[in-house]
Amino acid sequence: MSKRDYYEVLGVAKNASEEEIKKAYRKLAMKHHPDRNQHDTSKDAEDKFKECKEAYEMLSDAPKRAAYDQHGHAGVDPNMRGGPGTEGFGGFAEAFGDIFGDMFNQGGRGRGQGGRQVYRGSDLSYAMEVTLEEAARGKDAQIRIPSWEACDTCHGSGAKVGTSAKTCTTCAGAGTVQMRQGFFSVQQTCPHCRGTGKIIPEPCPSCSGQGKVKKQKTLEVKIPSGIDDGMRIRSTGNGEPGTNGGPPGDLYIEIRLKKHDIFERDGDDLHCQVPVSFITAALGGEIEVPTLAGKAAIDIPEGTQAGKQFRLRGKGIKGVRASYPGDLYCHIAVETPVKLTEHQRKLLRELEESLKKGGGRHSPSGESWTDKLKSFFS
Ligand SMILES: [Zn+2]
Ligand SMILES: [Zn+2]
């Protein structure tokens, strides 16, 4: 796979200043961040985000940028850095802070005891469906998530009972090996023991040598009021456990808003269709409309047309970070009567005759409509 030029990815000149690079990255990260691309389910948005994150990481680091300027992609290899835990969107959180606060501060790898590589555990995600009412009011929920416990059979060693783990011969237990890559000699995770420094000749059958088994646990989650579709709540430390004593990953609870029978949500505003008889639409009058808090009444004027909106200020949803609630828009859907009796048909025909006598007067779109038709057919 050929890689795009980092400067091209960020859309900056070769001699761009640090500040320009940072600005360009922020703009692109905002645009491509997965939290902002909920409706783009393709891998594309995520790939774009990763691409610009990588470009930024390289160009914002002076020594890496110098190596890249001199040798191109061969001079810097992003795969050299970070463990599995850095796969998340830490870069974005570092640059902008997460929706619900706390930063990724434990990403990447460090050194554990005995010099072995420690890896932060992977993040997990959990999809939670909430109704519009729950989203508006917030809710306390309980979810069942996977958790890992030390295997009872081998007590966490991963070795079959009666046997034990042996020191890895490839790395002599260090968990890392020196590799030449491009122009540098770099330290890499030992491919043989995958950084653990140990080889288990006879794995424990209960846990397949993992030393841990997957169980379930119940977690209490507070869903804040105003939460919207696609938002994520982070539960720190409830992801997969780390390797070699590394910190666990985080759990992300992704909110999916269930479709509502009456209301459609658009940010903090709500929309609903209100059927109104054509008689009421013509004569005007008080109609009843639903709101999340109960019923409300609005007065519609004489001659209200189909599709007309009436706004109920503050009857929408108060967003997670909003100071004021949004509005409720009631869209008038004028209903045509059905299943008419012979008598009712007669009345309507009489009404039609009477309206015709008024010329175009009774038809608000009549004249402009006739004009449009004329120019369309001429
Ligand atoms: Zn076991
Ligand atoms: Zn090894």
260, pLDDT greater than 90: yes
Pairwise pLDDT comparison (98 vs 186), residue with the higher score: 186
List CB contacts of 323: < 8 A, sequence separation 6 or more. Answer: none
* Residues 109, 117 contacting (CB under 8 angstroms): yes
- The answer to whether the CB of 143 falls within 8 A of the CB of 227 is no
**CA 109–ligand 1 middle distance (angstroms):** 25
pLDDT value at residue 84: 35
What is the percent of the chain where pLDDT is above 70? 85
Beta-ladder partners of 181: 184
Measured from the alpha carbon of residue 244, the closest ligand is 2
> What was the pLDDT predicted at 95?
35
- pLDDT tens-digit series, residues 317-341: 999 999 999 999 999 999 999 999 9
Ligand nearest to the CA of 202: 1
What's the CA gap between 25 and 295, in Å, rounded?
Answer: 48
| Alpha carbon of 204 to ligand 1 centroid (Å) | 5
Q: How far apart are CA 48 and CA 39, in angstroms?
A: 15
Report pTM: 0.58
Model confidence at 232: pLDDT above 90: yes
CA distance 25 to 51: 11
Q: Ligand 1 centroid to 161 CA: how many Å?
A: 8
- 104 has pLDDT over 70: no
Residues 1 and 215: their CA atoms lie apart, in Å, by: 39
Higher-pLDDT residue of 262, 101: 262
Compute the distance between CA of residue 51 and CA of residue 63 in angstroms, rounded to an integer: 20
CA of 116 to the centre of ligand 2 (A): 9
- Ligand 1 centroid to Cα of residue 162, in Å, is 12
* pLDDT 10s digits, 46-99: 788 788 888 888 888 887 888 888 777 776 665 543 333 333 333 333 333 333
How confident is the model over 283-329, as pLDDT tens digits?
999 999 999 999 999 999 999 999 999 999 999 999 999 999 999 99
Q: Which residue has the tokens 């969107």?
A: 89
State yes or no: pLDDT of 373 exceeds 50. yes
Q: Which ligand is nearest to the CA of 197?
A: 2
Ranges of H-type helices in 3-158: 6-10, 18-32, 43-59, 62-71, 90-96, 132-137
pLDDT tens, residue by residue, 131-159: 999 999 999 999 998 888 888 888 888 88
114 CA to middle of ligand 2, Å? 13
Mean pLDDT of 200-226: 90
Ligand nearest to the CA of 208: 1
Task: Give the ligand whose atoms come closest to the C-alpha of residue 206.
Answer: 1
- Rounded Cα distance between 145 and 235, Å, is 11
Q: Are 256 and 130 in contact (CB under 8 A)?
A: yes
Please report the pLDDT score of residue 112 as a whole number: 47
Residue 26: the pLDDT is: 83
Which of 83-97, 168-182, 361-375 has the weakest average pLDDT? 83-97
Residue percentage of the chain with pLDDT more than 90 = 39
Are the C-beta atoms of residues 249 and 258 closer than 8 Å to each other?
Answer: no
Predicted local distance difference test score (pLDDT) of residue 194: 80
Q: Which ligand sits closest to the CA of 116?
A: 2
Nearest to 91 by CA among 8, 47, 26, 21: 26
Write down the number of H helices and E strands in the chain.
9, 17
Q: Which of the ligands is closest to the CA of residue 169?
A: 2
Higher pLDDT pick, 361 / 348: 348
What is the 152 CA–ligand 2 centroid distance (Å)?
26
Amino acid 36: pLDDT: 64
Cα of 198 from ligand 2 centre, angstroms: 6
Q: How far is the CA of 196 from the centre of ligand 2 (A)?
A: 7
For position 62, what pLDDT does the model report? 81
HSE (CB half, 13 Å, CA atoms) of 292? Answer: 28
Ligand 2 centroid from CA 257, angstroms: 47
Amino acid found at 14: K
The rounded Å distance from CA 145 to ligand 1 centre is: 21
Which of 62-71, 93-102, 203-212, 350-359 bottoms out in mean pLDDT, i.e. has the lowest? 93-102
What is the pLDDT, as a whole number, of residue 261? 96
Minimum-distance ligand to the CA of 152? 1
**3-state DSSP call for residue 11?**
coil
Q: How far is the CA of 194 from the centre of ligand 1 (A)?
A: 18
Question: Which ranges constitute the DSSP H helices of 201-298?
Answer: 278-283
What distance in angstroms lies between residue 366's CA and the mean position of ligand 2's atoms?
Answer: 83
